[in-house]
Structure 1
Amino acid sequence: MLAFGGGPRIERERFEREVRALAARLPQAACAVNLCENRYRFLVALCAVALRGQANLLPSSRAPAVIDDVLVRYPDSYCIGDLPLDPTPPRYLHLAQTLEQAEGEPLQVDAQALLAIGFTSGSTGQPKPNHKTWDAFRTSTAQNLAALQDLLRAGEITPLVATVPPQHMYGMEMSVLLPLLGPVAVHAHRPFFPGDVARALSDADTPPLLVTTPVHLRALVESGIELPALAGIVSATAPLPVELAQAAEARYRCEVREVFGSTETCVFARRRTALEAAWTPLPGVRVCPQPDGTAIHAPHLPEPVVLADLMEVEADGRFVLRGRSADLLEIAGKRASLGDLTRKLLAIDGVRDGVVFQLDAADHFGVRRIAALAVAPGLGEAQILHALRQSIDPVFLPRPLRCVSALPRNETGKLPRHALEAMLHSQE
């Protein structure tokens, strides 16, 4: 079994027939923007595009402006998806409700072929492309299977439900490549609300693995909804608060495993956040601190990738995250970090969500201002600033600070920089 949920189980033989049929009708091009919402159809499209020798383009969202930007960067491209989109993207191949099937030779692609180009979320600026080959993905998937081995059913297929979109690299790794290359079957849909997640998990015949994000996990815990027995919970895309990990483990009676990675590196470390602060690198991974961040050496990376994250490596090779170089602030000879300022904002009683960030534009003194957005029903901006004064130095007080109904989080819970600034200016 490769996929389940929303209909009959899908075996690999049917999957291969549908890949052959779709590949035969794809247009000539260098790349395809894979916009499929249904996870199984995304998988079929991914492999059909690869079978034609084309690369899958994975935008960070399906917003028209994001798609247009990708098409400008890669003009010899078309779009493929399973939903009617408004506006309809250029050269859009809309998949039929029932996929055609075709017999033929076993599916084969060059191991060094470019399978996908993933784009960073834009949370620190302009989204950047990252090239991924089949060979690199096979190696990283073997590492991920090793990292999750004790959460998977020995000698059997483990069902998996994911709330993260397949276009995101974490979603790609955990909900597309694991079933494609490992003993995992994935739920075809992407549940979003707690009730949808509970129903999708109930479609599994045996305890499933839930692949999610801190935003979705918090919504599940706070909803009070009951979930069926789980094999485990995997979280990524943003730091997982210890308190949330502990609450989820207590409520759902399973381990919550946080994985560390990026679009540039894929997953390269893991930890059980409820019990430990240090990260354990995956097999073959080396974490090497340097002045501007940390170099990640991994078997699936053709060369080391330098991340802006600042890491302190322990004697046994494990590491502790100390923040990001881009998050460090120095004003009037004093230092702070945006991550720590955000944690202090969230610690205020009544603040449900919030973020502290630095504006791109500098004032007439050449200083980039610190700003904040807070979701705090019942609190005013002056009250929040008063509370912040009790825990941070006045030079780091965010000005402006705006109260909003919700933060502009994307599908994985991240906060793109352009969206934060747009919301901040819309409140002025």
Structure 2
Amino acid sequence: MFDELIPLSHCMTAKKTATSPIAYHAGHYYDAGQFNGSVRHWVNRLQSQPVQRYALFTNDAYPFAVMLLALFHAGKEVWIPGNNRPGIALQLQQLDCQLIGDWDATKPFDYCLESTECSSLSLLPLDPAETRLVIFTSGSTGQPKPVDKQLIQFQLEIETLEKLWGKKLANAAALATVSHQHIYGLLFRVLWPLSAGRCFHSDCYINPETLVKGTHDAAAYWIASPAHLKRLDQGSPWERIASLYAVFSSGGALQHEVAQQILACSGQQVIEIYGSTETGGIGWRLQGNEPLAAWTLFENMSLTQTDDRWQLHSPYLQIPPRPPFPKGVAAPLPLISSKGEITQTLTSPPFGKGGQGGFQLDDQIILQDDGRFMLQGR
């Protein structure tokens, strides 16, 4: 629940029950004691390395969580690419990134998930404003773009999500059919569960059939996308889907017909999240039988219109962006194509567009009198 959230900056220093399950990975539950041991093992190893910038890619979410926290506590700069294709790997290496994780299928990476030799290593809380990562947009509206994010931005968003849905989710486990290498999966699959003390499943399930088999009859919720939800049909495991505590969707608007089918067959009203890598979450909605459901802005957000464009004012964007590189490092941020080619470069991340104090949205919006809004395309 909200009052029990552990700040991401204190995940490795807060007192918690050592046997509390953190994640379900490779057929086993890993508890807080094992997680702490693995993270501290990697902090000890990484602190002795002169490399500052790491590109982290993992197939599974639990090893990702271990490495991400270890890199943060070792004072490293973390880049999170959307995939591990050879072209992407080459370009990241040219930008002085050390590849870490599942980059070479012929050489399985040992995450040392059973390590205990550094379990007593003393760690300090992270500075949520200084701790940051570079994550890429999905490229759905062009080439993937790098965005510099601070830990405090994720924490503020987690607090908002927990206020809205913490009681609904209770102690349910997070299961997903979306990757943790993009911001939606990173936040909903890894960071939010870590902060809220909920177990998350490491596998990225390929379809709802395998996902519901992974629930082991326990309380669970589904982190999905419209692409997965629209493939549901009359043969889908509706009874098991009905037992889920919640179904989330992001990455595009869910078609009304799909939302209606899910509601009719399972009783689930999909919780849709609207946002972007640059802005984080902007709003949410529940679709029912009505054809046009409006979006509700998240807490403390507002929209203003200037010259036919809409500006978002969000607490997640009020933290001044920091320079994307340590002192003395002049390499620019790349814009990487789906083929792994650099198409252009940026010397700073695209934090805002067109106006001080607000972020210019690409979407056209109709703002209603009650503060909710409708999306009208681009």
Cα distance in 2 between the residues matched to 1:174 and 1:190: 13
RMSD of the TM alignment (CA)? 2.2
Cα distance in 1 between the residues matched to 2:309 and 2:88: 28
Q: Does residue 126 of structure 2 align to residue 109 of structure 1? A: yes
TM-score normalized by the length of structure 2: 0.76
Q: Which moved more, 1:235-244 or 1:294-303?
A: 294-303
C-alpha distance after superposition, 1:362-395 (max 9, x if no partner): xxxxxxxxxxxxxxxxxxxxxxxxxxxxxxxxxx
Match of residue 366, structure 2, among 312, 318, 323: 312
SS in structure 2 of the partner of residue 221 of structure 1: coil
Asked which structure has the greater RCO (Cα within 8 Å, sep 6+), the reply is: 2
Q: How does 1:22-421 map to 2 (within 5 A)?
A: 22-26=42-46, 27-72=49-94, 74-75=95-96, 77-82=97-102, 84-85=104-105, 94-96=109-111, 98-101=113-116, 102-103=118-119, 104-106=121-123, 108-153=125-170, 157-200=171-214, 202-203=215-216, 205-206=218-219, 208-221=220-233, 223-226=235-238, 228=240, 229-274=243-288, 275=290, 277-291=293-307, 293-302=309-318, 303-324=357-378
Aligned-pair CA distance for 1:5: 5.0
Aligned-pair CA distance for 1:82: 4.1
Contact kept, 8 Å, 1:54 with 1:115, in 2: the verdict is no
Contact kept, 8 Å, 2:269 with 2:287, in 1: the verdict is no
Contact kept, 8 Å, 1:313 with 1:319, in 2: the verdict is yes
SS in structure 1 of the partner of residue 28 of structure 2: coil
| Residue 20 (structure 1) aligns with | 40
Contact kept, 8 Å, 1:3 with 1:188, in 2: the verdict is yes
TM-score normalized by the length of structure 1: 0.68
C-alpha distance after superposition, 1:37-64 (max 9, x if no partner): 1111111111011111112211122222
SS in structure 2 of the partner of residue 139 of structure 1: helix
C-alpha distance after superposition, 1:274-311 (max 9, x if no partner): 35521001111112233363222111213532221111
Please list every run of 5 or more consecutive structure 1 residues that lacks an aligned counterpart in the other structure: 325-428
Aligned-pair CA distance for 1:174: 0.6
SS in structure 2 of the partner of residue 294 of structure 1: strand
Please list every run of 5 or more consecutive structure 2 residues that lacks an aligned counterpart in the other structure: 1-20, 319-356
SS in structure 1 of the partner of residue 29 of structure 2: coil
SS in structure 1 of the partner of residue 122 of structure 2: coil
Cα distance in 2 between the residues matched to 1:5 and 1:223: 28
Contact kept, 8 Å, 1:22 with 1:100, in 2: the verdict is no
Q: 1:105 to 1:307 in 2, by over 3 A?
A: same
Contact kept, 8 Å, 1:34 with 1:80, in 2: the verdict is yes
Aligned-pair CA distance for 1:106: 4.4
Cα distance in 2 between the residues matched to 1:227 and 1:166: 27
SS in structure 1 of the partner of residue 218 of structure 2: coil
Q: 1:141 to 1:3 in 2, by over 3 A?
A: same
